[in-house]
Structure 1
Amino acid sequence: MKRKAEKSQPAAPISAFAARKARLQQLEAATPANKPSDVESNTEPPSKKARYSPEDEDASQVEEAKPNVHTRRAVRRAARSINAEKSKGKPKASPPPREKTPDDQLVQGSGLRTLADEEPGEENSDVEADDGDDTASLQGDVEGHETPAEDPKFQNFPLCTARLKRKDIVSRDKHAVCVRIKEKLGLVIIGQYDIWVKRGVVSLMGAKLHPSPKVYRVYAPSTHSLPVIKCVSGVNGKAEVEIQSVHSGIHQLKDLSPLYQRIWTGERTSADHLTFKSDEKQTRRTFSVLYTSADDSMKRHLRPLHMDETWSSAIRNLSHGGRQPKVLVCGPKGSGKSTFSRYLLNHLLSPAPQTETGYSNTDGVAFLDLDPGQPEFSPMGQVYLAHLSSPVFGPPFTHPSLDNSPDGTVIRAHHIGATSPKEDPDHYVLAVMDLMDRYRALQATYPQCPLIVNYPGWIFGLGLEVATWAVRSLGLSNVVYMSEKGPSEVVEPLALAAHDAKIPLITLRSQPTDFVTRSSAQLRSMQMQSYFHMSRASEIRDPFWFDTPTSRAQPFLVDYAGPRQGIRGIMVMGSQISPDLLHDVLDGAVVGVIALETPNPIMGQATVPGPSTDPVQESETLEDEMGFNGEVPEANMLDQSPPSLESNIIRTAAEDLPYLFAGAGSCNPLDPKASHSLGLALVRSINIPSRKLELVTPIPTTKIRNAIEQGHGIILARGQLDNPNWAISEEYYAAKASEKRHHQAIADAKKNGDIEGDGTATLDELTKVSAVLRERTRRASNVPWMKVVEESKRQQEPANRDQSVWKLRKKAYHLSESEMD
């Protein structure tokens, strides 16, 4: 009777959660037993293209546990409709508690309001409705390359765990601000700035910075995760640092390329208003403090640069392992090899004071970069050995060269001529062996100099064979593989090679991936453009950039024929081409400038008998053209001497260009032990009547002069690098920027009343200038190999065109806040 009475009572209003649960139970009962039920799970919804990733845990089981996204959306809509019908006019029930995610843990103690901080009675329906779409867009594909994200949505992301208060500001002016940071808390700053640690110890990108008079330059653009200034220890629990504005000129590159636009500071943030005085309303610094990504006026996808605890532990063990570390860092593409290597480099270059460990690094760190596609301190297409003495804070395009740098130097470099070593593995291995010999020679002067080897993502097939060879033969102390989930066909040979070399193999988790605003190809273009526009004066410590287009830069005029011939030959790396095509292949290309240390450094010709020519006349030619100053070895006078370089040079019929080719089918490369790279140059034009090349190059003249004084001949090598499209479009973007500034100046003059009287003469002058700038833009747009999109067509594109983001096709996960504290 009691049950009957209960059934006769009117139905009470149910909550949205209860209605949703009831609906799920109905669907579960109607679902066949052999199909998974549409019950809510803790796993992320599948990506648009479900593919296997070595980073996934038990991929097959995860796939079975993943619910169908469309079914989940239908269930949510049904639950909301039931709730709307049965709870009209009734109070809404509290939603169930939500588990805290790693994103929520990043902001604990910071005072930031997140989804985890919502009160039980507050609504969050918008976030719940978009949950499935946002998660799917973040996960992406799992292959290994990059694709544009479809319809990216802005997400407010916590960036730091510290909020500045008035009492935390020690001093401030229009150029700098001095703040205190509490222990275990971090501050995120976007832009470019100098940091000076006055009290306490702070960590920054793997380096621990102690109080000293030294000031460190930091570049924090939005193209990469933003570095975190974290207080490790301080006086009375706080560290005191001063942040200063810098004017390096790198921001001016935005007038030459859209890739450099929207990557630095925007409008003032709430924290900036606190750090400025009341009479400095119009003042802007080159940096801004951000608490969350919503503070950014440009609404960019900003993320903090945190490091996983396993990375921190590995770096500590490698740094204090009891012996001189020689570490090879390898792994698949996009796994964080460069980031880990940069963290390890900075940590080794900033050891704790002698009072803590009894060790002080005075010998610097050797950095052997074997990745020609994404090098750290060099433009693409090269492998090199660098010797660093100071930490580096910034992405590669902020330090594309170490020429004339007081913080480091390139000991030796070799031009590979491609972004991947697979084009010529034999030449690549010989270059690596020569660089290792140079490192052993460096140890004679710096016996305690550790070594970091950055291996490229070429880790499969032949690349794996080269990697295992490097592990066995380079005399390493550790091998770090940046992936915990294999694949086994890569990890097992590496482990076997490490076992044979009697060194440990350390496996670490891959770097988490998220939306990035530049693809790998675009980052290479930015690095190349930065390389050609950077300069470093001998009396200035830090570099600066100029915004003059390469078409207007002062070129080097080099004779390629005649009595004042400055280059010995021009070689094309890779397949043989017809000499008639050399002009077209060379014009407008980026070439390597290589110094020859022997009369004939071509591989495979060291013991080949020379042609039947007059040995005395041949030695005189070498003496004149190579500049040996009478020091030609007597062996070259013999009939059994190797052929001279000139015997492999063919002069083109129309241009008289010295085409250097030796081999069959493909050109034999230069011997790394008998040649080295000075840098890159852009062939702006070929003047056939005067037999001159116009070269634009940032190579210091002292470097070229030293090579000539040592008797080294110079050749140009045309490889398979990316076409310099950035150089072709620079004049157009510069003209557009000038025209835009002029129009803005006219608008400001009219607004401020600077045009007095009738203003007829002044307006006429401004109109003439506008016509000149408009004609310059028209001429710049009418060039070969470039198509200018009209403004009307550009406006028809999506509104968020310039806010497009990219994502890596690999599994993403969150890291911890650890900064090796």
Structure 2
Amino acid sequence: MKRKAEKSQSAAPVSAFAARKARQQQAQAPAVAEKPNVAEPVVEPPPKRARRSLEQPIPVPPPSEENQVPLRRSSRRTEQKPQNEKATQEARVDQAPKASQQVTERGSSRASEVQAPSDEESEEQDVVVNGSNGVGLEALEGDVDGYESPADTPVQVQDFPLSKTRLNKSSIVYSDEHRLCVRIREKMSLVMLGHYDVWVKRGVISLMGAKLHPSSRVYRVYAPSTHSLPVIKCIAGVNGEAEVEFKSCHSGIYRLKDLSPLYQRIWNGKNTTADKLTLKGASPSAKRTFSVLYTSADDSLKRHLRPLHLEKQWSSAIKSLSQRGGRLKTLICGPKGSGKSTFSRYLLNHLLSPAPQTETNYCNTDGVAFLDLDPGQPEFAPMGQVYLVHLRSPVFGPPFTHPSLDGSRDGSIVRAHHIGATSPKEDSDHYVLAAMDLMERYRALQASYPQCPLIINYPGWIFGLGLEVATYLVRSLGLSDVVYMSEKGPAEVVEPLGQAAYQAKVPLTILPSQPTDFVNRSSAQLRSMQMQSYFHMSRPSNITTPLWLEKPLSRTNPFHVHYSGPKQGIQGVMVMGTQINPDLLHEVLDGSIVAVVAVESPNAILGQNAGPVLSTGETDSDHDINMGDSTDNLPSAGSSTIESSITRTPKEDLPYLFVGSGSSNPLDPKVSHCLGLALVRSVNVASRQLELVTPITGSTIRGALEQGHGIVLVRGLLDNPNWAISEDYHSARAAEKRHRELAEKLKKNKDPAAEDGTLDAEKQMLRDRIRRASNVPWMTVVEDNSRRHREAVQREKSLWKLRKKAYPGSDSEGDW
């Protein structure tokens, strides 16, 4: 009563709600004292699941956004009961502020992962690359063309299980600084981060859908942290074990981190516990290009790492489809983010799995045809293209590790068409015509490879007009199967798709959506990474695997092409979309990405008098195209030749190619094909030349010219090449950082060279290089020299600002 009276005298007037809450808290206080085992729910850490043994399968988390924000783990195991219950309660109460402090610290470091210049350290100056829409680095999850951080919400990394086996002395066959040979028991798995070559010596393993048997073949695997990590599983072995060798590879793709923040912190960091075990006896500085991971906690960079697993329904569907062999012609469609690309990749690798090596040295000669109709996220080509590729070997890695197959022994592009946009809705008629032409090329390919199956990857454009295109393709392409990647429908999509499959007498398989690919980059960022990888990749003639060069595009030797005069190398420049004033062609073309298209006929522009490709009703109309009967009723090319449709710009004399009424009519896919992409580095008006930077080989262009084909440059509606603009700056910063590390190392070792004035002179030269790289056109760099610059205010002050128009009428036009 005394305590009650004291409280009533000192208490200030409060509301009824506050008084009731105070009484509840006062009533609960004795209960907590009497029952110390019951902790308050606010500070109680989430319960931990029972620990599974290594023999048990690892559960796959449901595909939801909650998987990307894992809960904080308890610091104590639930099965352990301490003797002192009071101490346990006090520890739990004190745990809340400590945990929040830890989350804050992780959030501050997490927000700067992409900005860090190396895989282990951060840089003094904060640079944020900004697209023309003004979105900064701190919003990676948004689909904008900016360089952003891997997460906008500070979270704590969960200790997620990756491998089912742990290496020991008996499982390690041999190891050195470059190689690691291990034995993996049946039904056990191993997960690695990085890039490496894998060689199966004994037994059979599964890797991203492919079954690899013992042979002399070595496969290149890319396992960055941007995607879910591939799982190496033993499915059969000698004496219950498979023997596999992993070897470091130096393709140069890790050097791209010096050119873009998006490539930073995606490969393996410091040596893990398993690496230290296998590197005993090696030099302390020894490090492979891959690391063995048991759990995500083994990662020194504390990233969100997940293994790549498939549901049983997916696995059974892949086995069922692969049994059709050469008769397989399947269309894979579904909503965005449903796992279409992952399923297609697994099915492709499963069909390309090599047979066991025999005395006849058998190999899969017919291969697999892959028709990619997704111009926004293509698998084997840069964005904006639909193409048909003939593959002869499984491919292990995300799309930016194989952005082109030119000169590859694993496959080749049969034919490609430039759509000019990341979505086919910009011109659905041209899109359908391109798909029909690629299907005809596949039928021609079957004459040489009769047992070559076909996989068609359809984009997530499955509603509205996209559904009409999908049902039309189902009725017209002569398929054997249709796979829809969503059990949730909706009914307005599944019913018309099922009706079209019924009319075409094709079975429709509905699978659950499983976005198993754990991606920590947005779609726009992955497109930028793929484009940058495409322009920096090369295939030397004496090397079977690709190489990446870290030299900025501004320092590479361009192609000088005459656009006017007696040595004119291109017929014209076409701008897809709305008609522009010829006076603006120079502005639209300079610094943009263009497609290099080979024109096989002078009448290659689609005419205006052709009927529509698709009917707008639910039933077939007279204008519909039936590819099963004939191709004569396709829209024909117009009567105007390319030469008569060219308008010369008054100032630069550029050949502007335009036919249409208000919008440009595209090139006819039947008599044109895309050779690749090029970056227009400059337009030299004095010499009437274009400076083009392109990975297209000179032999490819010469081959097209020798066949009598003309060359037309097509400017589409693709994303601005912001990554190319900032390459010089990031390269200069990386060089300055390497020099600083070298100077610190020499000073630490008390090397006489550290006192030499040469290092100071080189340091000044590198700073001048950074200053010059900051003063390029279309870009403004504001640097902050503070070391504690990770707050939002400092990030807002450090922006790259693009001042160039993308194209007239675009969303980025307001940033002039």
The normalised TM-score by structure 2 is 0.78
List aligned pairs for 1:153-164, cutoff 5 A: 153-164=156-167
Q: Cα deviations across residues 211-231 of structure 1 (Å, max 9, x unaligned)?
A: 000000000000000000000
Q: Pairwise mapping of residues 59-78 of structure 1 onto structure 2 (< 5 A)?
A: none
Match of 1:86 in 2: 34
Superposed CA offset, 1:126-150 (max 9, x none) = 999789x99xx9xxxxx99799542
Change (3 A) 1:575 1:235: same
Match of 1:285 among 273, 279, 288: 288
1:212 — aligned with what?
Answer: 215
Structure 1 residue ranges without an equivalent (≥5): 1-73, 138-142, 608-639, 803-821
Distance 1:445 1:725 in 2: 43
Q: Distance in 1 between matches of 2:268 and 2:354?
A: 32
Assess if the C-alpha contact under 8 Å between 1:594 and 1:676 holds in 2. Answer: yes
Offset of 1:416 from its aligned partner? 0.4
Three-state SS of the structure 2 residue aligned to 1:795 is coil
Query: Could you tell me how far 1:599 is from its partner in structure 2?
Result: 1.5
Question: Which of 743, 747, 750 is 1:746 aligned to?
Answer: 743
Question: Matched residue of 2:342: which SS?
Answer: helix
The letter of the residue matching 2:674 is: S
CA contact (8 A) 2:352 2:364 kept: yes
Please say which of residues 728-737 and 516-525 is displaced more in the overlay: 516-525
In the alignment, which residue of structure 1 is the partner of 2:446?
443
> Is the Cα contact below 8 Å between 2:198 and 2:219 reproduced in 1?
yes
- Mapped to 2, the partners of 1:219 and 1:475 lie a distance apart of 35
Aligned equivalent of 2:675, options 678, 683, 687: 678
Is 1:775 the counterpart of 2:768? The answer is yes
Match of 2:603 among 600, 605, 629: 600
Aligned partner of 2:627 in structure 1 is: none
Instruction: Tell me the CA shift for residue 799 of structure 1.
Output: 9.8
| Deviation, structure 1 residue 282 | 1.1
- Within a 5 Å distance, the mapping from 1:699-738 to structure 2 comes to 699-738=696-735
Q: 1:309-708 residue pairs with structure 2 within 5 A?
A: 309-321=312-324, 324-350=327-353, 352-353=355-356, 361-512=364-515, 516-604=519-607, 642-708=639-705
Shift of 1:449: 0.2
- The amino acid that maps onto 1:175 is H
Other structure's SS at 1:680 match: strand
Post-superposition Cα deviations, 1:296-349, rounded to whole Å, max 9, x if no partner, equal: 000001000111111100000000147621111111111111110000000000
Q: CA deviation at 1:107?
A: 5.5
- Per the TM alignment, residue 533 of structure 1 is displaced from its structure 2 partner at its CA by 0.1
Instruction: Say yes or no: does 1:119 pair with 2:79.
Output: yes
Q: Is the 8 A contact 1:350 1:391 kept in 2?
A: yes
Write the deviation string for residues 753-802 of structure 1: whole angstroms up to 9, x where unpaired: 2216xx75x1x221111111101101111223323242347833249999
CA distance in 1, matches of 2:707, 2:751: 61
In 2: Cα distance, 1:126 partner to 1:344 partner: 51
Indicate the larger mover: 240-249 or 791-800.
791-800
Amino acid at match of 1:86: E
Deviations 1:227-267 (A, max 9, x none): 00000011111110000000000000000001000000100
Equivalent residue of 1:208, what SS? strand
Structure 1, 454-463 or 313-322: larger mean CA deviation: 313-322
User: Secondary structure, in 3 states, of the residue corresponding to 2:239?
Assistant: coil
RMSD, matched Cα: 3.6
Taking structure 1 as reference, are residues 383 and 87 closer, same or farther at Cα in structure 2, changes over 3 Å only? same
Specify the alignment match of 2:788 in structure 1: 795
Change beyond 3 A, Cα 1:145–1:651: closer
1:172 matched residue in structure 2: 175
SS at 1:695 equivalent? strand
TM-score by length of 1: 0.78
CA distance, structure 2, for counterparts of residue 566 and residue 666 of structure 1? 26
- Give ranges in structure 2 of 5+ residues lacking alignment: 1-21, 60-72, 83-87, 108-140, 145-149, 611-636, 796-816
Q: 1:511-569 CA distances to partner (integer Å, 9 max, x unpaired)?
A: 24686421110000000000000000122110000000001011000000000000000
**CA 1:107–1:455 in structure 2 vs 1: closer, same or farther (change >3 Å)?**
farther
8 Å contact from structure 1 (residues 301, 516) kept in 2: no
Describe the shift of the 1:314–1:768 C-alpha distance in structure 2 as closer, same or farther (beyond 3 A).
Answer: same
Which amino acid in structure 1 is aligned with residue 567 of structure 2?
R
Deviations 1:79-137 (A, max 9, x none): 9966642246x8999x9999986x9669554999x979742526795999789x99xx9
What secondary structure is seen at the aligned counterpart in 1 of 2:725?
helix
Matches within 5 A, 1:216-295: 216-295=219-298
Letter in 1 for 2:34: K
Q: What's the counterpart of residue 785 of structure 1?
A: 778
473-482 or 359-368: bigger deviation: 359-368
Q: Which amino acid aligns with 2:367?
A: G
SS in 2 for 1:490: helix
Name the CA distance, whole Å, in 1 between partners of 2:296 and 2:25: 30
- Shift of residue 606 of structure 1? 9.9
Alignment partners' CA distance in 1, 2:729 and 2:331? 44
Shift of 1:724: 0.1
Q: Distance in 2 between matches of 1:177 and 1:525?
A: 34
Aligned length: 683
* Cα 1:509/1:78, change in 2 over 3 Å: farther
User: Structure 1: which amino acid aligns with 2:662?
Assistant: G
Q: After superposition, what is the alpha-carbon deviation per residue over 1:731-759, rounded to whole angstroms, capped at 9, x for unaligned?
A: 00000001111111111111112216xx7
Pairing of 1:25-64 with structure 2 (within 5 A): none
Q: Is the 8 A contact 2:374 2:458 kept in 1?
A: yes
Over 3 Å counting, the alpha-carbon distance change for 1:787 and 1:455 in structure 2 is same
Contact 1:468 1:494 in 2 (8 A): yes
Match of 2:758 among 755, 765, 769: 765
Q: Which amino acid aligns with 1:506?
A: T
For residue 575 of structure 1, give the secondary structure of its aligned residue in structure 2. Answer: coil
Q: Structure 2 counterpart of 1:776, which letter?
A: R
**Contact 1:174-1:283 within 8 A present in 2 as well:** yes
Amino acid at match of 2:646: I
Q: Distance in 1 between matches of 2:154 and 2:791?
A: 10
Q: Which has the higher contact order (CA 8 A, sep 6+)?
A: 1
CA distance in 2, matches of 1:127, 1:319: 57
CA deviation map 1:14-34 (0-9, x unaligned): xxxxxxxxxxxxxxxxxxxxx
Change (3 A) 1:665 1:514: same
The residue matched to 1:791 in structure 2 has which SS?
coil
Native 8 Å contact 2:330 2:480 kept in 1: yes
* Equivalent residues of 2:339, 2:517 under 8 A apart: no
How far, CA to CA, are the matches of 2:735 and 2:391 in structure 1?
39
Q: 2:546, 2:314 → 1: CA distance?
A: 31
Residue 799 and residue 281 in structure 1: after superposition, are their counterparts in 2 closer, same or farther (change >3 A)? farther
CA contact (8 A) 1:386 1:410 kept: yes
